Amino acid sequence: MSIEFQFDAQAGTARAGRLLTPHGEVETPVFMPVGTAATVKSVPQDVLEELGVQILLGNTYHLYLRPGVETVRTLGGLHRFMAWPRAILTDSGGFQVFSLNELRKVTEEGVTFRSHLDGSSHFFTPESAMAAQIGLGADIIMAFDECTEYPADRSRTQASMEMTLRWAERSKKYFEEHKREVPWNQYPVPSTQRQEKGAVAGNWVLGTGCSTQSLFGIVQGGMDLALRKESAERTVGIGFPGYAIGGLSVGEPRERTREVVEATLQYLPSDKPRYLMGVGTPEEIVEYASLGIDMMDCVLPTRAARHGLLFTSEGKISIKQARYTEEEGPLDPNCGCRVCRRYSRAYLRHLYASNEVLAQVLNTLHNLSFYLDTMRRVRHSIRLGEESRFLSGLWSQPKP
């Protein structure tokens, strides 16, 4: 078994359901916190479990450079290495290669790039990106694609899309030939982790030697709606258990992102999970869930938290501002997270101003709680059939 996807409620174009993975169940629509280097910065794994995180994202590019795929594979794969018994998704490394490397060189065969750590030269191909993701051993892995830059003219966008399609076929071929090599089949998870996983995820059993990863395809096509349609149809033609919409949030206006997502979604099969990569703000994740997106990820809640930018039911707060120096109330009176239950705005402001490590920890905890709660309310609203609440009542943002 690899994954199964079922949705049991619909409201308009939105749907709520569950994704069953070899490492437990994920309720959808889901927001996936980003754990770039096998850690969601400043938050221990047991706290992520308490927050109700069911799936994390790891970045292949970063893990490939440090500690290295072979190290993680030898230690039993990412789940065992980072002591995280629940589901994991890794990206293919393509996006980081394109966004972090100005000196990259792209050919039909693959991409040559330099490490941002030490300047050393590396080469990713669809095959080596699959080998890396199989070695890391996430539940869901992504085809190697080229994220088309923005802006790009039509001929450039089309050529890039065609190469991504050829790379998708090569990714799938390599994956099908090597998927039995996933480390969790060779290294059973320790019994304590297995018991814990059993407690949260019913009868899903690890280390039985018979489960495999799932490879998702990625739709490209830039901002061109006709190319998006063609990319979606031909990617579906190759055949994957789930589909991602890539190449967005690359600098285009927000209205354009929505337009492309809406146009692309209609060509993706409704019985497969649909993953929008790299979005967004709390308002945006609600909006995309209402359009029928099932999975999203973004560094925004964790990165913003480290810069003192906090999302609340009353709008965004920059906790560094002097106006909070003597505010005794909680960060968000409508948030039940452990930070809002215990600490004042004044204390959080003091921690941030003093550059205390705890500021990052608490700010990240609140922002993640806020995102996860938002998605919980979205799923609840879909089950109640109250689609309209997504964009009006559920998320209202008066200025603080």
Q: List, by residue number, the catalytic residues.
A: 91, 297
User: Two tokens at 6?
Assistant: 């079922």
Q: Is the peptide bond before 67 cis (omega within 30 degrees of 0)?
A: yes
Strand arrangement, sheet containing 243-245: 30-32, 295-297, 274-276, 243-245, 214-219, 140-142, 87-90, 55-58
Vertex 389, ends 386 and 393: CA angle to 5°?
A: 150
What's the min distance (Å) between Cβ of 98 and Zn ion? 35
Instruction: Choose the stretch contacting Zn ion; rule: CB under 5 A; options: 60-68, 132-140, 223-231, 328-336.
Output: 328-336
Amino acid at 330: P
Q: Which of 57, 129, 337, 348 binds Zn ion (CB under 5 A)?
A: 337
Q: Considering CB under 5 A, how many residues would be counted as binding Zn ion?
A: 5
Instruction: Choose the stretch contacting Zn ion; rule: CB under 5 A; options: 140-148, 199-207, 300-308, 335-343.
Output: 335-343
Nearer CB in complex with Zn ion: 55/339: 339
Instruction: Choose the stretch contacting Zn ion; rule: CB under 5 A; options: 37-45, 125-133, 237-245, 340-348.
Output: 340-348
Place of tokens 């009353």: 314
Compute the distance between CA of residue 20 and CA of residue 35 in angstroms, rounded to an integer: 21
User: Any idea what DSSP says for residue 394?
Assistant: I
Vertex 6, ends 365 and 200: CA angle to 5°?
A: 45
Instruction: Choose the stretch contacting Zn ion; rule: CB under 5 A; options: 33-41, 270-278, 284-292, 329-337.
Output: 329-337
Residues in the chain: 400
Q: Pick from 282, 363, 387, 272: which is nearest to 7 by CA?
A: 272
Nearer CB in complex with Zn ion: 232/337: 337
What's the min distance (Å) between Cβ of 305 and Zn ion? 11
Nearer CB in complex with Zn ion: 239/398: 398
Nearer CB in complex with Zn ion: 90/364: 364
Whether the Cβ atoms of residue 221 and residue 161 lie closer than 8 Å to each other:
yes
Nearer CB in complex with Zn ion: 183/330: 330
User: Any idea what DSSP says for residue 323?
Assistant: G
- Binding to Zn ion, residues 343-382 (CB under 5 A): 366
Q: Does 20 bind Zn ion (CB under 5 A)?
A: no
Compute the distance between CA of residue 340 and CA of residue 324 in angstroms, rounded to an integer: 15
Q: Interface mask (CB under 5 A) for Zn ion, residues 283-322, using x and -?
A: ----------------------------------------
What's the min distance (Å) between Cβ of 332 and Zn ion? 5
Compute the distance between CA of residue 157 and CA of residue 161 in angstroms, rounded to an integer: 6
What's the min distance (Å) between Cβ of 314 and Zn ion? 12
- Cα 343 versus chain centre, distance: 29
Q: Does 335 bind Zn ion (CB under 5 A)?
A: yes
What's the min distance (Å) between Cβ of 373 and Zn ion? 8
Nearer CB in complex with Zn ion: 23/366: 366
Residues 6+ apart with CB under 8 A from 51: 337, 365, 368, 369, 372
Nearer CB in complex with Zn ion: 267/343: 343
What's the min distance (Å) between Cβ of 262 and Zn ion? 32
Q: Does 340 bind Zn ion (CB under 5 A)?
A: yes
Q: What backbone torsions phi and psi does residue 149 show, to the nearest 5 degrees?
A: -70, 160
Q: At what angle do helices 154-178 and 225-238 cross, to 10 degrees?
A: 20
What's the min distance (Å) between Cβ of 333 and Zn ion? 10
Which residues of this chain interact with Zn ion, rule CB under 5 A? Answer: 335, 337, 339-340, 366
